Amino acid sequence: MLPIALNGATKLIQYFKWANTKTYLFTIQFGIKTNTGDITGTIVDKSDIIPNIDSINKVLPKFRGEIEQTPHVFSAVKINGKKSYELARKGIIPNINPKQVIINNLNVLKQISNDKYVFEANVSSGTYIRSLSEDIALSLGTVGCTTYLRRTSIGKFNVGIPLDYLPNIVHNVSKIVISAEDLLDGIPVVHVSDEVAYNLSLGKSIPVDDQSVINNNDLLYLVKSPGGFLELVTLRSVYMYPKKLIRKLGGKDVD
């Protein structure tokens, strides 16, 4: 899936919170392990133990919530400036430190063959599904690898819009476009008057009226006014400094 920023929203991509969580559909084939963690790799281990759906459901709770996960050696994790998979392809097995990830939701959906099951997971950014597949298999006393992987959502974006819908985008744009303001919902808001908003739009630094936010220096804030003004500002000392104008007074987005 491919999120696309339009018009002035292209200037805000670095601030969007769209990648905090991701949802995946994936298939685990139990009984084989590959060097890459997926079906394209070389088989390095086998097992006759094929779990049933009841035993899978029993182990999944241990993978939900905040867990420690070691990224796969065939991943883009940087090791001394080089990507891990580049080293692995040369036969060098790097030592990768585990990290904390969050599995918000994890379920087995169905069995599609004797040794293959389809799963769905909603995870924090930076979670490696191939590692998750191997860890699930290991907890079941066997081995496994990922044979199918599809990302179905990134934050508020999902794959509910098929490509053949695009020719009709002009007539249905409101159904598929998410506003920049919605994607900035993780940024605290400061409300100002239209007069203050106008001065901010001219690039002026403005004293902060709300004393409760003064101690949060250098944090990013979204400024709003009754006239529809939107701007990102930073706070330093008792002043807010304009950083990125999003929407002018009257509600017109900046191109």
Residue 223, Cβ density class (10 Å: 0-12 exposed, 13-18 middle, ≥19 buried): buried
pLDDT of res. 160: 63
pLDDT of res. 45: 96
Q: Are 104 and 21 in contact (CB under 8 A)?
A: yes
Give the side-chain half-sphere CA count within 13 A for 175: 10
**The amino acid at 253:** D
Please give the structure tokens belonging to residue 171: 């007539």
Confidence of residue 72 (pLDDT cuts 50, 70, 90): confident
The backbone torsions φ and ψ at residue 48, rounded to the nearest 5 degrees and listed phi first, read: -85, -5
Inform me whether the pLDDT recorded for 85 exceeds 90: no
Neighbours of 168 (CB within 10 A): 11
Give the side-chain half-sphere CA count within 13 A for 57: 6
Inform me whether the pLDDT recorded for 214 exceeds 70: no
**Distance (Å, whole) CA 174 – CA 105:** 29
Interval 110-118 mean pLDDT: 97
Confidence of residue 250 (pLDDT cuts 50, 70, 90): confident
Q: What does DSSP assign to residue 44?
A: E
Inform me whether the pLDDT recorded for 197 exceeds 80: yes
Which residue matches tokens 């006393």? 141
Per-residue pLDDT of 153-184, as tens digits, reads 887 777 766 666 666 655 666 666 777 777 77
Domains of the chain from N-terminus onward:
19-157 (3.30.2350.10), 187-247 (2.30.130.10)
User: Nearest to residue 249, comparing CAs of 212, 199, 183?
Assistant: 199
pLDDT of res. 86: 78
pLDDT of res. 130: 94
pTM to 2 decimal places: 0.72
Interval 194-219 mean pLDDT: 76
Taking 3-state DSSP, the helix, strand and coil percentages for the chain, each rounded to the nearest 5, stand at 25, 35, 40
Q: Are 208 and 214 in contact (CB under 8 A)?
A: yes
The more confidently predicted of residues 14 and 70 is 70
Per-residue pLDDT of 130-156, as tens digits, reads 999 999 999 999 999 999 999 998 877
Confidence of residue 82 (pLDDT cuts 50, 70, 90): confident
Inform me whether the pLDDT recorded for 27 exceeds 70: yes
pLDDT of res. 206: 86
